[in-house]
């Protein structure tokens, strides 16, 4: 296992470690750890509205799932827009709105996001299935997660979407 390898690690060991860490982190998230602010329908609606707002303008929005403590999104940036600026926009806007709704201040989102490039229709289907299964396994709270498709299936099938957890 890469985590136990002595320094310096090879590129393969670094990639294995990163993959194992990310898998463990996502398992923690999907098990419902954390504050689970997004389980509130009012709060998850803020996130959903933000995701849909620039759909077709700055990005094509694919399937997304708002879990109680994180979000899975399939998105394809358009034109000059890039994933980093899209994520910043979503996180900044929703953090302000969520804090206002909860009458609080402070951090809402983790600094890091986990993204993967989808290179073909098969990978797109795999990531869509992962999001569906994640939504079905949701255990934090009794309010169901929001599962949505923001675009017609013809748009969803296009390659180039990037799945992101924020």
Query: Is residue 27, in this structure, part of any structural domain at all?
Result: yes
Confirm whether 91 is domain-assigned: yes
Domain-located, residue 21: yes
| pLDDT given for residue 129 in this prediction | 75
**Prediction pTM value:** 0.68
pLDDT digits (tens, 9 = 90+) for 119-161: 888 888 887 777 666 666 554 433 344 444 443 333 333 444 5
> Distances from the Cα of 59 to the Cαs of 67, 80, 85, 138, in angstroms?
21, 10, 11, 27
Domain-located, residue 5: no
Residue 103 lies in a domain: yes
Distance between CA 30 and CA 74 in Å, rounded? 17
74 has which bridge partners?
163
pLDDT tens digits, one per residue of 49-93: 999 999 999 999 988 888 888 888 889 999 999 999 999 999 999
- Residues 16-59 have pLDDT tens digits of 766 666 666 666 666 666 788 988 999 999 999 999 999 999 99
Residue 4 falls within a domain, yes or no? no
Instruction: For residue 96, give the 3-state DSSP assignment.
Output: helix
- Establish if 1 belongs to a structural domain: no
- The structural domain count of the chain equals 1
Range of the domain at 119: 10-165
Tell whether 138 is covered by a domain. Answer: yes
């Amino acid at each position: 296992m890469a985590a136990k390898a002595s320094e310096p690690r090879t590129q393969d060991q670094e990639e294995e470690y990163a993959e194992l860490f990310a898998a463990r982190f996502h398992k923690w998230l999907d098990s419902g750890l954390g504050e689970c602010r997004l389980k509130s329908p009012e709060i998850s609606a803020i996130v959903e509205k933000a995701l849909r707002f620039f759909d077709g303008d700055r990005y094509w929005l694919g399937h997304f799932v708002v879990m109680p403590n994180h979000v899975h999104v399939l998105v394809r940036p358009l034109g000059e827009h890039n994933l980093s600026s899209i994520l910043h926009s979503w996180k900044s806007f929703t953090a302000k709105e969520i804090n206002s709704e909860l009458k609080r201040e402070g951090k809402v989102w983790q600094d890091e996001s986990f993204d993967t490039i989808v290179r073909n229709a098969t990978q797109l289907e795999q990531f869509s299935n992962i999001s569906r299964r994640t939504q079905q396994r949701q255990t934090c709270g009794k309010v169901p997660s929001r599962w949505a498709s923001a675009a017609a299936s013809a748009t969803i099938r296009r390659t180039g979407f990037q799945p992101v957890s924020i």
